[in-house]
Structure formats: structure tokens, C-alpha cells
């Protein structure tokens, strides 16, 4: 019988590898290593995985973190790459929509369910861009793997902008949150923003302190997103509760911020009362946030509580 420590360790490894997805379109099965993008007809592409949102900006669901895309008359851009098999599926779908070579792939952060498909996209795109810390995090996360990760050839620190046809893409890094290298991608004319894993919509988030995560600063980052981007912005989230989805508004970001604030508060109270981390981890629900107990989401609340406990006591 597996004990709690083994269960938690295995769950975290699975989530970090990106094999759990809460995307609305379901979870695609793996096809193995990438061996090339074969010609494909529109009839063979699962178009239900593609959703157009606003003004030539849309999303792709498959397995792992949600992919965002821009496809206008002059440019083709993608946000995140998922895994090799679903990256191939996404590219084939984009090729069926457009004959253009991709101008840019953005990595929202380094986790494999957002970057393992970089090698597939590299055959199709001119450049890959990410926050300056992402390549080192990628390499560290894959240190025990025989596969050498494909990393961004372009990097930025805090802000970056580029014009793609009649659309302007802005990239922002507002500081450590989910990781130390999170990127917010904002399509200005469409008013659509891709947040990567800064929002697990109504689900317990994965927190990666080994890669610079800070729950306290995560609250500030979400506040800054709400304050800086237009109120009408439509947001794409990396993962989401099946009843709440992978797109939303600033109110969904606010809900995530309130959850993190309450997570910090209950943990601080437990520390003040002299409770141990093990005692705190027995909490089954954060009061008022029952909607975050997403079905089939293997990451337990106890992990969030333990990470926040360590952060607050400075360990």
C-alpha cells in the first residue's frame, strides 16, 4: 500500500511532467517521440481542439497546458508547445488554416507540459522567446533525462513587444509567482491574454519553489495583471476546472488571488498557533473555496499548504 509521502511525490512528478490536464477538450493520448510532421488533410484534424476567441486569436487544447495562437493575414504566433505529439497535432491544425511559417513561439514558463513540444515547433517557427530564467529552469528540470530540451533563442527580462501584421504582442514578467520565470502574453488589439499557469482556474495550483516560486508575490502579480490590462480582456488559463473552463475574465483572476490570500492567511494563523506543518496539512478544505476541489485533479490541498508553510517560516 502506498503511503502518503509516496503518493504526494508521485502526484507532483506526474503534474510537473504535465501528464494531467484539465482542459475542456479532454486529454489526448501520447504517440511517442516526434518523428516529423507528416502532410495532413483537414479531415484528419480534430477541429474541436481549436477554438477562435477574438480577432484571429484562439486556443488549442490537447494534453498539458493550453496553447494560444494568433493567425492573421501576415503572421502566425503560438503561446506554449505542450508535448511532442500534441505539438504536432497543433501545428498540423495551424498548417491547415494557413500556409505561413510561424513567426514566433512563446514559452509561458519552463514546465514540460508547456515546453516539451519546443523541438517540434522549432522545425516550423523562426524564433522561440521566453523569460531569461526559463532556459536554465528547463535544463535543471530535465537534468536526469536523456532528452536535451530545446530552449528559447530569444529572451527578455521584464517587458517585450512586437508587431505581427495588424496585431501587437506584449510580453510581461511581473516577478516570481508560479515559477521565477512566468510570462504574460497580451494581444493588444484582440484584448486577449495568455497567462500560462499563473491561473489554475478553480483548481489547486502547482507551486514550484525550486524554480523560484513565491506565493506571496503571486498575489501581487495577479493584482498587477488586473490593474494593468483592460477590464474587457479575455484570459486564457493554463489549466481549469471542467465546470469553470480555461478562459475567463478578471473576476476569475481575482478569485484565484483571493484563494492564495486565504491560503496564506490560514497558514499564518496555524503558525501563530504553534501548529506543525503536518497538522496544517490535514486541513481538507480552505473555507469559502470549495470550488477549488476540482474532480480528477490529483494535486492535493495538503501540498499547497506545506509549500506555503515553508515559505512563511523561511525554510
3-state secondary structure of 189: coil
Place of cell 477538450: 25
Task: Evaluate if residue 314 carries a pLDDT over 70.
Answer: yes
Q: What pLDDT shows up at residue 97?
A: 86
pLDDT tens, position by position, 86-143: 999 999 999 998 888 999 999 999 999 999 999 999 999 999 999 999 999 999 999 9
Q: Could you state, in order of their start, the residue ranges of all structural domains in the chain?
A: 4-313
What do you get for the CA distance between the two ends of the chain, in Å?
Answer: 31
pLDDT band, residue 199 (cuts 50/70/90): very high
Cα gap 138→133, rounded to integer Å: 9
pLDDT tens, position by position, 146-188: 889 999 999 999 999 999 999 999 999 999 999 999 999 999 9
- In this structure, the dihedral spanned by the alpha carbons of residues 12, 119, 188 and 250, taken in order and rounded to 10 degrees, is -10
What does DSSP assign to residue 43?
A: G
pLDDT tens, position by position, 16-53: 444 333 332 222 222 222 222 333 334 455 678 999 99
This prediction has a pTM of 0.86
pLDDT tens, position by position, 267-297: 999 999 999 999 999 999 999 999 998 888 8
- Extract the C-alpha cell encoding 105: 513561439
Pure H helices in 50-83: none
Q: What pLDDT shows up at residue 298?
A: 83
Contact 304, 260 (CB under 8 A): no
**11 vs 313: which has the higher pLDDT:** 313
Which residues are bridge partners to 43 per DSSP? none
Q: How far is CA 270 from CA 124, 215, 267, in A?
A: 51, 17, 5
- Extract the C-alpha cell encoding 110: 519552463
Contact 301, 282 (CB under 8 A): no
Cα gap 121→101, rounded to integer Å: 10
Angle between helix 4-17 and helix 301-313 axes, rounded to 10 deg: 90
Pure H helices in 123-245: 134-141, 215-228
Per CATH, the homologous superfamily of domain 4-313 is: Ribonuclease Z/Hydroxyacylglutathione hydrolase-like (3.60.15.10)
48: Cα separation from own chain's centroid: 20
Task: Evaluate if residue 85 carries a pLDDT over 60.
Answer: yes
Pure H helices in the chain: 4-17, 84-97, 112-115, 118-122, 134-141, 215-228, 250-272, 277-280, 301-313
pLDDT tens, position by position, 221-270: 999 999 999 999 999 999 999 999 999 999 999 999 999 999 999 999 99
Place of cell 501548529: 275
Q: CB under 8 Å to 248, separation ≥6 — which residues?
A: 199, 201, 234, 235, 237, 240
Amino acid at each position: 500500500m502506498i503511503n502518503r509521502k509516496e503518493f504526494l511525490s508521485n502526484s507532483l512528478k506526474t503534474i510537473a511532467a504535465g501528464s494531467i490536464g484539465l482542459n475542456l477538450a479532454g486529454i489526448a493520448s501520447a504517440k511517442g517521440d516526434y518523428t516529423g510532421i507528416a502532410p495532413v488533410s483537414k479531415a484528419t484534424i480534430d477541429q474541436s481542439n481549436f477554438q477562435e476567441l477574438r480577432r484571429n486569436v484562439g486556443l488549442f487544447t490537447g494534453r498539458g497546458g493550453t496553447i494560444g495562437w494568433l493567425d492573421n493575414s501576415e503572421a502566425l504566433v503560438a503561446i506554449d508547445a505542450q508535448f511532442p505529439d500534441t505539438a504536432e497535432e497543433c501545428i498540423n491544425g495551424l498548417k491547415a488554416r494557413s500556409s505561413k511559417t510561424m513567426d514566433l513561439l512563446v514559452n509561458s514558463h519552463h514546465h514540460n507540459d508547456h515546453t516539451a513540444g519546443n523541438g517540434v515547433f522549432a522545425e516550423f517557427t523562426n524564433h522561440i522567446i521566453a523569460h531569461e530564467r526559463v532556459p536554465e529552469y528547463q535544463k535543471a528540470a530535465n537534468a536526469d533525462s536523456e532528452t536535451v530540451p530545446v530552449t528559447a533563442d530569444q529572451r527578455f527580462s521584464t517587458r517585450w513587444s512586437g508587431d505581427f501584421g495588424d496585431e501587437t504582442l506584449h510580453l510581461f514578467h511581473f516577478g516570481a509567482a508560479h515559477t521565477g520565470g512566468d510570462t504574460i502574453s497580451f494581444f493588444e488589439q484582440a484584448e486577449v491574454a495568455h497567462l500560462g499557469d499563473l491561473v489554475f482556474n478553480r483548481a489547486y495550483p502547482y507551486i514550484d519553489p525550486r524554480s523560484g516560486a513565491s506565493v506571496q508575490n503571486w498575489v501581487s502579480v495577479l493584482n498587477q495583471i488586473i490593474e494593468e490590462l483592460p477590464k474587457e480582456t479575455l484570459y486564457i488559463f493554463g489549466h481549469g476546472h471542467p465546470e469553470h473552463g480555461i478562459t475567463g475574465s478578471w473576476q476569475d483572476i481575482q478569485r484565484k488571488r483571493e484563494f492564495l490570500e486565504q491560503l496564506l492567511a490560514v497558514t499564518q494563523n496555524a503558525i501563530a498557533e504553534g501548529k506543525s506543518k503536518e497538522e496544517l496539512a490535514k486541513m481538507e478544505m480552505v473555507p469559502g473555496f470549495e470550488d477549488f476541489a476540482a474532480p480528477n485533479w490529483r494535486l492535493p490541498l495538503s501540498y499547497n499548504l506545506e509549500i506555503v508553510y515553508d515559505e512563511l517560516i523561511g525554510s
